[in-house]
Amino acid sequence: MDDTFIDANADPFELFETWMAEAEQSEPNDPNAMALATSTLQGAPSLRMILLKGADRRGFVFYTNLESRKGSEIAVNPQAALLFHWKSLRRQIRIEGVLSAVSNAEADSYFASRRHISQLGAIASDQSRPLPERSVFEERLNTLMTRYPEGSTVPRPANWSGFRLTPKRMEFWQDRDFRLHDRCVWTLTGNTWTTERLYP
C-alpha cells in the first residue's frame, strides 16, 4: 500500500489516470471493472459490474444493449454512479454524474474492435430478458456464425451502443491502518472543480 496521502491539489482526471495505470500493474483481473448504479424514475436502484471502455476529460464510457435493464433505466433517469475498487491497492474511486449517449461513430468504432464472437453475442442476446433455455441463445449464435463467418464485417445492431458519464463528483479513497482511511472529494460547480478532504 502507498503510505502517502492523497494530493488534494491534484487534477482529478490526472489522479484517476495515475491510479488506473497502477491498477493495471497490480490487479490480476479486469482493472477496468467498475460497478454501475442506475435507478428507475421512481428511484429504485440496481447495480452491476461492467467494464470501462474509455476515459478522458469528457467522461467515462461503457457499452451495453440499450434494451437491457440498465439501458431502460438510463433512458428514463440518466443520473448514475460508478465505483472502482482495487483490492490489491486498497483503493477505490466513486464517480457520480449524468449519462449521455456516445456518438454513432464512437459506438461503431468500438463495436468493430470487439472479438467476432462478442459481436455476434451482442446481436443474439436479448440482454436482461427471460431466456427459456440456453439452447435458444446458442441456436441464435450458430445461425449468426453462418451468416457472418470469421473475418466478415458484423454490423452494429441498432439497440447496442454506449454511454458517457460526465462526472460532477469524484471521490478518491485510500485504505489506511486501523480504518483511519484517507478520502478526498472533487465537486464540479459550474466549470470549476473544488476539493476537500473528508473524515474517514
4 phi/psi in degrees, rounded to 5: -75, 160
- Listed in sequence order, the residues at least 6 apart from 100 whose beta carbon sits closer than 8 Å to its beta carbon are 78, 163, 164, 166
69-106: pLDDT as tens digits:
999 999 999 999 999 999 999 999 999 999 999 999 99
123-154: pLDDT as tens digits:
999 999 999 999 999 999 999 999 999 999 99
Amino acid identity at 4: T
**Looking at residue 1, what is its pLDDT?**
47
Among 94, 156, 179, 197, the one annotated catalytic? 179
- Listed in sequence order, the residues at least 6 apart from 169 whose beta carbon sits closer than 8 Å to its beta carbon are 94, 95, 96, 97, 185, 186, 187, 188
pLDDT band for position 2 (cuts 50, 70, 90): low
Phi-psi region of 128 (alpha: psi -120 to 50; beta: other; left: phi over 0): left
Give the number of other CB atoms < 10 A from CB of residue 197: 11
Return the domain boundaries, the chain.
12-104+160-198
Domain 12-104+160-198 - what CATH class? Answer: mainly beta
pLDDT > 60? residue 42: yes
| pLDDT above 70 coverage of the chain, percent | 98
129 is a catalytic site residue: no
Task: State the first-to-last Cα distance of the chain, in angstroms, to the nearest integer.
Answer: 17
Give the residue-averaged pLDDT of 175-187: 95
